[in-house]
Amino acid sequence: MANSGQTDTAVLVAMLSERTTVNVQLVLIGEEEQWQLHYCQVTLDDDAPLMERSWRYSTAVFLELCLPGPTVAALLRGDDQDLHGIRVVSPDPPSSSASSNQMRSQEEWGRVTTPWPRTEWTISRDPYALQPGHGLLVGDGPSFLNFDQALSAFLHQRPHDSHANRSDLWRIVQPQRAGWLSQITIGPDLLTANVTGEALDGSALELSWAAGHQSQPVDGAGAYSFALPSGLAHDSLLMLRRADQWLDWRHFPAPTYGRARDASVVWEQPGPELDLLLATGEGQHLECKREVPEGDSRKKMLKTIAAFASQDGGTVLIGVQDDLQIVGLPDGANVDKQVLRVIGMIRDNLEPVPSYEPRVIEHDGKTVLAIEVSGGGQMYAYRDGQRAEFYVRVGPNTVLARHHEIAAGFRQAQTVTTS
């Protein structure tokens, strides 16, 4: 199947109707006898653990339970249902189709990550449907400052993130455990992939890049290796496949700037990773600094970090010259103190403090400090005294943001927060 597409809702109704039971997480809003469905996540996995929960408040109800498949199918069809003594009503006529996405293993989407590939179907909520309240939630369940915090704790056991997408009314998740890549280890001259799965017969593992490819059959779960005589090529693709269908895959471009790294990929020596990072040179997502800046020169690095955070992320490499020569941090420098200096600069000068990760990379006896900045979906300011300055990245340059760019950034943050 394609990575994404559309599925007729009737197909999903029929699929649910055929299952004896399914695990669901229901979020309802309203009061007293009228409870409207705000969100329903269905997990089509008999092996998934279920922790039955019921949090009830005056304006919201959170339920996690096992329900008959036909009951959930009827709710998806738009039929009101009585569940645990609660009359649950659909907020609007059901959509005729759902968005479908086939996700590889370890891929995060909507705050969900699984060790194996999965297919997800989602149906968006009508933006004009009843919205949850904004007051304290106190009742038969943990107390929360507001609905958003309760929702994030219930669904993800994580603190509320204003950038998390909450626009789905339905989410149906089905694991695909035929085969997946549980770990990939990349060394200077060898790539080893650990393959796991329940139906690996007839599958193959392929490593491809611009100038060629290697392939080998997979005869069961285990470790499979590819020689890398010239190191891992830029833009390589590792694919676990059966005929023309992929089971799982990993892509190795220059490392994804400023985003969470895939925990299943282990770089035995960070040198190859740094080489890939530098392959495209300074640009929209990469800035190099010879050393941790002092005095007034700190502003240039900090405004670049603000620009990365205000757009789609980026990485600052400290210990690398503008000509991409790796010189490392100064000899005798205390690396921990260097990291703390950068952390202090960011904390004291950027508002709000963006999401970032400092990482130490060793390369040919030299130490490089990488500051990986996540794109935040809002504008981040560099504070110069009492004045807040906003910046954006244009190619390899950091420039003052224009009024319309600042306004667009704040509109985007407002849209994500209220979605």
The tokens for 134 are 């904004």
pLDDT computed for residue 271 by the predictor: 61
* Mean pLDDT value across residues 354-375: 87
Return the pLDDT at 12.
96
For residue 211 the two structure tokens come to 């100038």
Domain definitions of the chain by residue range: 4-175, 180-253, 280-418
Q: Tell me what the mean pLDDT of segment 122-126 comes to.
A: 89
Residue 47 has pLDDT above 80, yes or no: no
Provide the angle, in degrees to the nearest 10, between the axes of the packed helices 9-17 and 69-77.
Answer: 160
Per-residue pLDDT, 355: 87
pLDDT of residue 134: 83
Grade residue 312 by pLDDT with cuts at 50, 70 and 90. confident
- What is the average pLDDT value for the chain, to the nearest integer? 86
Is the predicted pLDDT of residue 416 greater than 50, yes or no?
no
CATH code: domain 280-418 is: 3.30.950.30
Please say if the pLDDT value at position 270 is more than 70.
no
Q: Is the pLDDT reported for residue 415 higher than 50? A: no
The percentage of the chain sitting over the pLDDT mark of 90, rounded to a whole number, equals: 54
Q: Which residue has the higher pLDDT, 33 or 185?
A: 185
Tell me what percent of the residues of the chain surpass a pLDDT of 70: 90
The dihedral sign for the CA sequence 380, 384, 389, 394: negative
Does residue 269 surpass a pLDDT of 60? no
| CA distances from residue 164 to 103, 151, 308 in whole angstroms, order as listed | 18, 11, 19
Most trustworthy range by pLDDT among 43-47, 180-184, 310-314: 180-184
Q: Which residue has the tokens 């996405």?
A: 101
CA-to-CA dists, residue 6 to 120, 151, 169, angstroms: 11, 27, 16
Section 107-128 average pLDDT: 86
| 0.85 surpassed by pTM | no
Better pLDDT: 129 or 294: 294
Q: pLDDT band at residue 242, thresholds of 50, 70 and 90?
A: very high
Average pLDDT of the segment spanning 56-62:
93
Torsion sign (Cα): 57, 62, 66, 70: positive
With a cut of 90, say whether residue 230 has pLDDT above it. Answer: no
pLDDT by residue (tens digit) across 133-149? 888 999 999 999 999 89
- Give CA separation, 375 vs 145, 257, 315, 355, in Å: 26, 9, 11, 8
Reported as a pLDDT band with limits 50, 70 and 90, residue 107 is confident
Q: Where is average pLDDT lowest: 32-36, 117-121, 342-346?
A: 32-36
Q: How confident is the model at residue 161 (pLDDT cuts 50, 70, 90)?
A: low
CATH number for 180-253: choose from 2.60.40, 1.20.58, 3.30.70, 2.20.25.
2.60.40
Does pLDDT of 378 surpass 90?
no
Return the pLDDT at 63. Answer: 95
